[in-house]
Amino acid sequence: MTGIRLASLQGGATVLGSETLDALRRTLHGTLCLPEDAGYDEARTIWNAMIDRHPGAVVRCKGVADIMRAVTFARDNRILLALRGGGHNIAGNAVCDGGLLIDLSLMRGVRIDPISGTARVEPGATLGDFDKEAQAFGLATPLGINSTTGVAGLTLGGGFGWLSRKFGLTVDNLVSADVVTAEGRLIQASATENADLFWGLRGGGGNFGAVSSFEYRLHPVGPMVLSGLIVHPFARARELLAGYRKVAAEASEELTQWVVLRKAPPLPFLPAEVHGKEIVVFAVCYVGDERDGNRALAPLRSLGTPIADVVGMQPFTAWQGAFDPLLTPGAYNYWKSHNFVELHDGLLDVLVSLAAQLPTDECEIFIGQLGGAINRVPSDATAYPHRNANFAMNVHTRWRQPSDQRRSIDWARKLFGDAAPYATGGVYVNFMPEDEIDRVASAYGANYARLAALKAKYDPDNLFRLNQNVAPAAQRPAA
């Protein structure tokens, strides 16, 4: 094997001889893949087709020792480093051009302890992997809404979904994490050990190290939950959104109600004449008894006459995967996002106006309902700071043909700009595209300075920089 050129942290290139690469290869339980090797393309290909990057080499890890050796190798040779878990991040930070990709996607173990009510999860696991194991015991922790999402990236950014109003964010249920630091050491972070790092991991993204294992608190959920969709014609969108605003403000924490504005996909429960037409969708999930759930849903169901109401009892794992067919890999995706305390009249006007101009059939606007247990945690208790937000909007553009890219992105940016006057100014880091590095400070608000100081302590050379990056605070010169 000949030597290779790898992108360096300084922005140039580092040439490594074959003996250096052979030495790394011999230490691994997993594999070292170069561009011509089997497994290379699988490792570098991620969910968002907009991201087409070619790392100079890939370490496909099978255990924590592989992670430690790969991080140490990158640090010692000053190589640009990327970490891939589930590969679902919209910004594509999981992959770099020319550098070293540490691929964790083969590490998908999930171990449930029903006695202690905890789960130990490896960094390549998806939400589907986690939920299937936990639901065997009627347990769950708050995660996202798409079963193919990686647990690691979701968690490190904060994490919210159908269970969050009742049980908090994903990070509010994180008990501990094993972390490989920039020094290549394995340490544990928890409320009692390396507590400062534990604070930063709960929302601070991948800035502080490579997490090799997550431990979560579990809650009794399911295995059947009241959940599903209520679909309305778009002609009544403004009225429906105003009604939703009132219903959401009065809802119990067991009930989560999201809004989706999009064109109707060819779902079997929708009449053919609706397919491809704009619709208003309420997506709901109730954590608790079916009768209580139906009573809680009555105000939402009183809003007009829907095209379809397919809310009923179904396995929680099925509901967690319900949106998977609309979010398959291989399409081009671009997102813009805002947080809101309230859904002002002006915002509703913006949403209705722009939802009537969707650039492709797969574009959508969703409003995720937050609040409840999420907002009872102080804003400085974790790195995730947005404890006053009651709604998160994701403007999700999705297209298949390159010719649709410009108008799709322009549409998303216009909606984002028009909605800005009604937003908090904060943003959920997991929804930020790669062109929003200027929003990182506002994403963390008052917690940013503390994160920068933490970065200087655990990663002063910014080895872990391919993320929504927090730069290390400036070091004081030695006395």
Q: Are residues 314 and 364 in the same domain?
A: yes
Residue 2 contacts by C-beta under 8 Å, 6 or more apart in sequence? 18
Q: Are residues 374 and 236 in the same domain?
A: yes
Which token pair is 125? Answer: 């696991």
The full DSSP string for 8-76 is: BTTSSEEEE-HHHHHHHHHH-SSEEE-TTSTTHHHHH--S-TT-----SEEEE-SSHHHHHHHHHHHHH
From first CA to last CA, the distance across the chain in angstroms is 48
Cβ 207 vs Cβ 451: under 8 Å = yes
Q: Are residues 177 and 241 in the same domain?
A: no
Q: Are residues 300 and 381 in the same domain?
A: yes
* DSSP run (H or E) holding 215: strand 210-217
Q: Are residues 62 and 197 in the same domain?
A: no
In whole angstroms, give the CA distance from residue 158 to residue 347.
25
Residue with tokens 């208790």: 381
Can you give the pLDDT at residue 474?
82
Q: Are residues 198 and 233 in the same domain?
A: no
Percent of the chain clearing pLDDT 70 (strictly above): 99
Burial 413-438 (b: 16+ CB within 10 A, else e): ebbbebbeebbbebbbbbbbbeebee
Query: Last residue of some domain: 220, 243, 270?
Result: 220
Cβ 95 vs Cβ 84: under 8 Å = yes
Look up the CATH number of the domain holding residue 406: 3.40.462.20
Asked if residue 256 belongs to a domain, the reply is: yes
Can you give the pLDDT at residue 162?
98
Asked if residue 458 belongs to a domain, the reply is: no
| Residues in a beta bridge with 229 | 283
Taking alpha carbons only, the member of 237, 337, 229, 326 closest to residue 278 is: 237
Can you give the pLDDT at residue 475?
55
Can you give the pLDDT at residue 213?
98
Q: Are residues 154 and 58 in the same domain?
A: no
| Residues in a beta bridge with 465 | none
> Residues 243, 245, 247, 248: is their CA dihedral positive or negative?
positive
Cβ 237 vs Cβ 280: under 8 Å = yes
| Segments forming the whole domain that contains residue 156 | 110-220
> Residues 445, 436, 429, 97: is their CA dihedral positive or negative?
negative
- Count of domains forming the chain: 3
In whole angstroms, give the CA distance from residue 40 to residue 32.
9
Which token pair is 247? Answer: 């219903």
Angle at which helices 290-301 and 237-250 cross, to 10°: 140
Cβ 154 vs Cβ 130: under 8 Å = no
Q: Looking at this protein, which amino acid is placed at residue 386?
A: H
Q: Looking at this protein, which amino acid is placed at residue 236?
A: R
Q: Are residues 429 and 352 in the same domain?
A: yes
Q: Are residues 193 and 209 in the same domain?
A: yes
In whole angstroms, give the CA distance from residue 218 to residue 114.
9
Residue 155 contacts by C-beta under 8 Å, 6 or more apart in sequence? 170, 171, 174, 214
Q: Are residues 318 and 287 in the same domain?
A: yes
Look up the CATH number of the domain holding residue 161: 3.30.465.10
In whole angstroms, give the CA distance from residue 273 to residue 271.
6
pLDDT tens-digit profile, the chain (479 residues): 467 999 999 989 999 999 999 999 999 999 999 999 999 999 999 999 999 999 999 999 999 999 999 999 999 999 999 999 999 999 999 999 999 999 999 999 999 999 999 999 999 999 999 999 999 999 999 999 999 999 999 999 999 999 999 999 999 999 999 999 999 999 999 999 999 999 999 999 999 999 999 999 999 999 999 999 999 999 999 999 999 999 999 999 999 999 999 999 999 999 999 999 999 999 999 999 999 999 999 999 999 999 999 999 999 999 999 999 988 999 999 999 999 999 999 999 999 999 999 999 999 999 999 999 999 999 999 999 999 999 999 999 999 999 999 999 999 999 999 999 999 999 999 999 999 989 999 999 999 999 999 999 999 999 999 999 999 998 543 33
Q: What's CA 139's distance to the chain center, in Å?
A: 21
Q: Are residues 256 and 346 in the same domain?
A: yes
Asked if residue 140 belongs to a domain, the reply is: yes
Cβ 446 vs Cβ 385: under 8 Å = yes
Look up the CATH number of the domain holding residue 83: 3.30.43.10
The full DSSP string for 324-376 is: GGGS-TTSEEEEEEEEESS--HHHHHHHHHHHTT-SSTT-EEEEEE--GGGGG
Q: Are residues 194 and 281 in the same domain?
A: no
Phi, psi of 148, rounded to the nearest 5 degrees: -90, -5
